[in-house]
Amino acid sequence: MIIKTIKLENFRSFKREVAIDFSNLNVFVGENDIGKSTILEALDIFFNDNKGVIKIDKEDINIGSKRVGDTDTKISVVFKDLPLTLTIDSTNNTILSEEYLLNSDGCLEIIKKYSNAGKAKVFIKANHPTNPECLDLLLKKNSDLKKILAGADIKCENKAKNAEIRKSIWGHYSDSLQLKEVEIELTKEDAKNTWDSLQKYLPLYSLFQSDRKNSDGDSEIQDPMKLAVKEILKNTDITKKLNDIAQEVTQKLKDVTDKTLEKLKEMNPDVAKNLTPNIPSLESLKWADVFKNVSITGDDDIPINKRGSGVKRLILLNFFRAEAERRQKEEDTPSIVYAIEEPETSQHPQHQMKLIKAFQELSNTGNTQIILTTHSPAIVKLLDFENIKLIKKDESLDKEVVSINKKDLPYPSLNEVNYLAFFESDAEYHNELYGHIEAKDKLSEFKKDKEKRKYIKFFKGEEAETQITLTEYIRHQIHHPENGKNLQYTSEELQKSISEMRSFIQKNISSN
């Protein structure tokens, strides 16, 4: 499974529901405090059930909603590329479409609702039967399903398997299912097994934040290794071997306890009959805990977290480079989502380039999605347009997340994206805009009626005074920094000139 869309509602600065489409590589850009990290942290809460980096609390409820008494937060994830078959109860494999557990788009949509930042209630949004005669079958026990069979005289070849009974019942009412998109709660007692089984198929999710605490328990370096353990333990061959070992140990323990109780019966039957062996079930074994202390240490066992932030992030960088190489070679790797805040933090520009290349390679390995946030215009210029998602406020000041479509930009350039995201105005962007207007043969039209200013230039070794527009003045200053006869343009003038060119392009030059 991979993420197709996420939806946030009443979570921090996202008040009304905002849907965010995902691809394999997703880079969120926007001004400070616009909500980039919020998206990554919401997913951490969703996937890791408050056991990851982030724990939901009452401060996460949108302030505006809280004022009017709305304290219900909702985080939803829509998945695509679903497994062909899966087990949602203990009886047999099934297909989500046959269980009517897909939404109207044919995708799996899981919703988690947090009332007053409390424990999550889990729902599936599905195009599901609403006919009262065959309603809520997933919430019913085997005995209840059999009663429906008997009451409607429905034939079913295998009444021991709930999935087969449900299939028979829905087949009987196939002409009157009354399909409708509804929310099915999976945290109710009778449906809990369905959710416990279903979440085993969800991707692993790991969040690497930009600001880590400098303590011995700092997990910035620990987490990649723990994540590696989780990923390794998702390998079906390894899981089978571990379960085989556990079964063998369980059987030997049972033999020992049985023989002990037999001997005890010989000496004191009354005591023996009240004793039973207590051996943990296979399902309760947590193999990841066996490797919970896995870590990377430096020379002389100096914790990595005691090193500089640049070194810590450098190790993280090379973890992703190694992962890209490994996942390209291996088959049947589990689905995984890496979320990294500000990968440029404390990194040399050359390292940033290598890291972005690693992320691009990772995102192409299959079953792998990358989510980044960045404040770096340099990082943006290393990306493709389809990787970038801009967070901004709409006309009503609500948040929206838009994909950057090259065709939608009046001037299709990554410098344009940086301007929209960070309001970056630099000489390179000024040159591009000027060149774009010139290439469209619109320069004379642009300069018309613009205020002129004095500019001293050199012609055949002699000074010459001329009158030119602000945009031309800046253009000449950029291309002839050796000319010291004129005052250097200010950042405000650069911003004004860029703004005037953008406005002209939007009004007078087609983006096609």
Give pLDDT, residue 220: 45
- The secondary structure of 117-170 as a DSSP string is T-SEEEEEEEEEE--GGG-SGGGS-HHHHHHHHHHHT---S-TT-HHHHHHHHH
Sign of the Cα torsion 191, 196, 197, 201 reads positive
Name the stretches of the chain with pLDDT < 70.
89-92, 190, 211-223, 282-283, 293-310, 511-512
Give pLDDT, residue 382: 92
User: What does pTM read for this prediction?
Assistant: 0.81
* DSSP-derived 3-state class of residue 220: coil
Query: CB under 8 Å to 400, separation ≥6 — which residues?
Result: 18, 391, 392, 393, 394
Give pLDDT, residue 403: 87
Alpha-carbon 33 to chain mean position: 18
Alpha-carbon 181 to chain mean position: 25
Give pLDDT, residue 188: 77
Cα 312 to Cα 366: distance, rounded to the nearest angstrom: 27
Per-residue CA distances from 394 to 67, 210, 401 (Å): 22, 28, 10
Percent helix, percent strand, percent coil in the chain, to nearest 5:
45, 20, 35
Q: How many Cβ atoms sit within 10 Å of the Cβ of residue 446?
A: 22
Give pLDDT, residue 155: 94
What residues form DSSP beta bridges with 125? 109, 183
β-pairing verdict for 336-341 and 368-373: parallel
Give pLDDT, residue 217: 46
Give pLDDT, residue 90: 62
Give pLDDT, residue 295: 66
Give pLDDT, residue 304: 59
Are 265 and 275 contacting, i.e. CB atoms less than 8 angstroms apart? no
Give pLDDT, residue 279: 75
Give pLDDT, residue 6: 97
Cα 107 to Cα 435: distance, rounded to the nearest angstrom: 46
**Domain limits of the chain?**
2-21+54-204, 222-389, 425-508
